[in-house]
Amino acid sequence: MESDLFTQSRYRVLSRLHVGGMGEVFLAEQQGTLPRRVVIKRLLPHVSRMPGARERFLEEARLLHRLSHERLPRLWEAGEDASGPFLVLDYIEGASLREVLLEGGPLSVKAAAAVLCETLGVLTALHEAKNEAGAPLGFVHRDLAPENLQLDRQGRVFLLDLGISKSSESRLRTETGLLQGRPLYMAPEILAGGKAAPASDLYSIGVIGAELVGALEPLHTGEPPMTALERAKQEGAFRLHWNENIPSSFREAVERALAPTPAARGTSKEMLDRLAPLANPADLSERAEKALEKSRENLLPGTPTPRLTPIPFSGKKRIPLAAAGVLLIAIAASWWAVQNSTKRGADTPPPPITQGKPSPAPSANLTISQPEPGAFTVEIGGKPYGILKDSLRVTIPAGAHTVTLTDEARSLYYRREVLLGPGEEGRIDWKNAPGAIPGKKTESPSP
């Protein structure tokens, strides 16, 4: 029988911190002479089986290994076990900006400017980073959002989750027309299918800046991701409503970053210089502490995880030990990454077309009932199935599936594993005890 983290590994899982559309994050304790708390990030089982998923996941490890900054997460190791690849990082107590905003509402202008300045300082260093030969590394984060900015207990900002970041040395190509990230924070050129650049990251910072002070009104909330994306292309993703107490210097800095033309946004260094006179992080540590206490109430119990076995990585030495960083997943728009997981080279011919009428795939039916009042986005096996407001009956391929419900506005997430045979009728009701599908494998709800 395969060993697990609790019994024979160097790591003992304490709790599950977060689950997203692509992966999950655990808080664990490293065993041995020098015990320490670490964060373990891994792909969800159904994602790890998809073509190219492992390579994309380890691309993040390569970037973290290449880049160096005290406000970036640093790797302890990268590896792979029977359930797929994993990353192990240092754990720093704190809360994401999303958790801070949900717990206490908008920040003061001074605190928001301090958060933006720290973030811009990291971003400037990464945009200007060079490789060993002295050539620009060409780093672009591509997924900046409050979920990926972490405040530690001292109120310091850490830039997290390089899962879809890119550099000139990245081994993966972004397929034409494949969008990755969160539509609300995407620059217009990205929504139009263009190439991401440092100016695209700056646009995302502008959206975050408006959100931090309560000036952002997101549009198309509650819609399926694909629908929201298409509407954002036509109508925009948000509106701005500035409070009269917001200084003009803050408003002008943010609005310049939100210019529709990349060249008109300036640079991250220029935006930092504009905001620096306003910055005062005095109350950030208190806000982070309150959000941390709130998040502790929602920690998900640890679950057995296969033993972590280190693997060599691109023929290089194992990644050295380093301090600082915590990695939380928040790839809320991973549905399109899952659906477009197979990438072909530009010169690879398409597969031959076979003649004849294919046999229909065996299907099953599944009825899903909501866990609590509200509107939840339903995904099955990484594919969106609409919005759940009461109950939803869907026809799905027979087999094993990961069923998830998400409500980003309230930071709610529910997940179960189901296994249905051809023609079977299944039911998931989060209000009842686990085992809603008799004789089938299910997982307890994870609120």
Q: Indicate which residues carry an active-site annotation.
A: 143
Strands of 23-30's sheet in order across: 75-81, 84-90, 36-43, 23-30, 11-19, 300-301
Angle at 269 between CA 263 and CA 275, to 5 degrees: 105
Tokens of 342: 């197979």
What single letter denotes the amino acid at residue 143?
Answer: D
Contacts for 272 with CB less than 8 Å, ≥ 6 apart: 116, 117, 120, 121, 124
Which residue shows structure tokens 């917001």?
Answer: 246
> What is the Cα–Cα distance from 229 to 333, expressed in whole angstroms?
10
d(CA 126, CA 132): 14
| Pair of tokens at residue 204 | 């995302």
Q: Are 406 and 332 in contact (CB under 8 A)?
A: yes
Residue-level length of the chain: 447
Residues sharing a CB contact under 8 Å with residue 199, sequence separation 6 or more, in sequence order: 187, 262, 263, 265
